[in-house]
């Protein structure tokens, strides 16, 4: 049997319904925040990610799905959303729009060739936002508030916001030099990955999971001692604005994040869900004031975040925060015999077009087994169509919960359901 590729999964049944519930909630929240929806291609030219995400990052150096298309162009399945959105921002000249800043959100699949494990897939979905055109710390705080409010709305508890600053380019450069000097005599003690990071991106040594308990890591110089005034002020304001929204946070100076483009604020949000395991980071993000320029646009500030949908779904499953029985049908129609199928189908069509979720038997079940099916579907009403109903156009409608019966003429049917079924979406 042909099986799905490693690190991917199928969506169907209850999980599918729950995913749509989550996506709808995200969309509704984004409307409240007044962010625009953006969708960019699932593949882009490989160069975009080399320039955008960074040559030295794990994502680009080890995890991309690269291919040559039939015209011999180097393409990459997107490993994350930011670079593509920045490309679109530049290509569509959004920086020239009258209404600034540009705030957008996206939801879609990303691809990373990682070792599959719990919470880590090769095809996974992200919901993310990007804000362009403001370097005000207000935007950093607003972006951080989005996942926090989303997780709150979903009912998750034990949410922990970790923040740090990498400073502006000047501070970051100075700190990089300090780190190079500091780690130079200790290179032999570091893991192989960190030895490479020393040459390519020394900041990333700080969030090494292998070396994290070494004394040289604990005693490493702190970024906070090398921030210039602009960087310090920016970070202080972000913290102040988070406090204004009553968002609790912890400053974690080892948080540097795995992508090259960040400046100033970086953050991650964890959920401490019992039994959730090590992949408890639900989202990550930060500010990237040089990325638009790096990708070829005009100098434009940016800030954003992305949350993994699978991890969020797992947290919601553990915390039992997903809707229980999602199957709820308004009306189930039972044609008694073959002769009544056309009339029933016409009725079914009319009910659906008037906004009622409806189904009809398509397996020629007997009446008992049809009522069982109506129960399985959690149907509010059942209509049985026989010869008499068709000749009189008076239908018998059964309330499937109370078992009360009503005689309603076909002309009155929609009014009847309008009055008795409150909201077919509920």
Size of the chain in residues: 426
Total binding residues toward ligand HAM, as defined by CB under 6 A: 27
Q: Smaller CB distance to ligand HAM: residue 84 or 335?
A: 84
Identify the helix (H) or strand (E) that includes residue 84.
Answer: helix 82-91
Contact residue for ligand HAM among 235, 305, 332, 371 (CB under 6 A)? 305
Q: Does residue number 82 form part of the binding site for ligand HAM (CB under 6 A)?
A: yes
Do the beta carbons of residue 306 and residue 262 sit within 8 Å?
A: no
- Verify cis geometry, omega within 30 degrees of 0, for the bond prior to 101: yes
Does residue 133 touch ligand HAM according to CB under 6 A? no
51 touches ligand HAM by CB under 6 A: no
Phi, psi of 73 (to 5 degrees): -90, 140
Q: What are phi and psi of 303, to 5 degrees?
A: -155, 145
Please say which residue, 207 or 253, places its beta carbon nearer to ligand HAM: 207
Q: Closest approach of Cβ 161 to ligand HAM, in Å?
A: 13
Q: Please select the residue that binds ligand HAM; options are 54, 137, 297, 308, rule is CB under 6 A.
A: 308
Is the separation of the CB atoms in 197 and 149 below 8 Å?
Answer: no
Separation CA 338–CA 227 (nearest Å): 79
Pick out residues in 259-288 that bind ligand HAM (CB under 6 A): 259, 281-286
Residue 303 or 383 with smaller CB distance to ligand HAM: 303
**107 scored as a contact of ligand HAM (CB under 6 A):** no
The answer to whether residue 304 forms part of the interface with ligand HAM (CB under 6 A) is yes
Tokens of residue 44, six digits: 């882009």
The minimum distance between CB 63 and ligand HAM, in angstroms, equals: 8
Sort residue 191 into left (φ over 0), alpha (ψ -120 to 50) or beta: beta
* Binding of ligand HAM by 310 (CB under 6 A): yes
Q: What is the dihedral of CA 390, 395, 396, 397, to 10 degrees?
A: 130
Beta strands in 112-182 (DSSP E): 123-132, 159-165
Choose, by CB under 6 A, the member of 121, 226, 241, 267 that binds ligand HAM. Answer: 121
Q: Does 78 contact ligand HAM by CB under 6 A?
A: no
Distance, CA of 46 to CA of 73 (rounded, Å): 9
Contact in structure between 309 and 125 (CB atoms under 8 Å): yes
Give the CB-nearest residue to ligand HAM: 308
Q: Indicate whether 314 belongs to the interface with ligand HAM (CB under 6 A).
A: no
Residues that bind ligand HAM in the complex, under the rule CB under 6 A: 80-82, 112, 114, 119-121, 124, 126, 128, 130, 258-259, 281-286, 304-308, 310-311
């Amino acid at each position: 049997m042909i099986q799905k590729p490693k690190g991917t999964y199928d969506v169907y049944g209850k999980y599918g319904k729950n995913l749509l519930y989550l996506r709808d909630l995200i969309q509704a929240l984004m409307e409240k925040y007044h962010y625009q929806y953006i969708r960019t291609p699932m593949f882009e030219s490989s160069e975009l990610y080399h320039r955008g995400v960074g040559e030295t990052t794990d994502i680009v150096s080890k995890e991309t799905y690269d291919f040559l298309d039939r015209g011999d162009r180097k393409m990459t399945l997107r490993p994350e959303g930011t670079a593509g959105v920045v490309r679109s921002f530049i290509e569509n000249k959004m920086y020239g729009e009258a209404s600034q800043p540009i705030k957008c959100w996206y939801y879609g699949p990303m691809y990373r060739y990682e070792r599959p494990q719990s919470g880590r897939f090769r095809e996974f979905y992200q919901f993310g936002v990007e804000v362009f055109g403001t370097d005000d710390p207000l935007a950093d705080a607003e972006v951080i508030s989005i996942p926090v409010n989303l997780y709150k709305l979903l009912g998750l508890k034990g949410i922990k916001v970790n923040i740090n600053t990498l400073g502006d380019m000047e501070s970051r450069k100075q700190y990089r030099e300090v780190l190079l000097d500091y780690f130079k005599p200790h290179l032999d003690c570091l893991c192989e990955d960190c030895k490479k990071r020393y040459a390519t991106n020394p900041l990333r040594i700080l969030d090494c999971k292998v070396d994290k308990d070494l004394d040289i890591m604990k005693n490493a110089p702190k970024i906070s001692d090398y921030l210039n005034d602009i960087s310090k002020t920016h970070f202080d304001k972000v913290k102040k604005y988070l406090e204004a929204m009553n968002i609790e946070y912890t400053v974690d100076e080892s948080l540097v994040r795995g992508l090259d483009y960040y400046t100033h604020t970086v953050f991650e949000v964890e959920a401490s869900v019992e039994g959730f395991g090590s992949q408890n980071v639900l989202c990550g993000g930060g500010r990237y004031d040089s990325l638009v320029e790096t990708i070829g646009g005009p100098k434009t500030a940016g800030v954003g975040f992305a949350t993994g949908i699978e991890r969020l779904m797992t947290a919601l499953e553990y915390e039992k925060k997903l809707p229980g029985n999602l199957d709820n049908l308004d009306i189930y129609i039972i044609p008694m015999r073959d002769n009544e199928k056309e009339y029933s189908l016409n009725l079914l069509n009319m009910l659906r077009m008037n906004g009622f979720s409806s189904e009809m038997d398509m397996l020629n079940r007997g009446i008992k087994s049809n009522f069982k099916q109506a129960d399985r579907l959690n149907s509010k009403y059942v209509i049985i169509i026989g010869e008499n109903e068709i000749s009189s156009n008076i239908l018998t409608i059964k309330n499937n919960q109370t078992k009360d019966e009503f005689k309603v003429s076909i002309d009155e049917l929609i009014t009847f359901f309008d009055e008795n079924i409150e909201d077919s979406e509920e």
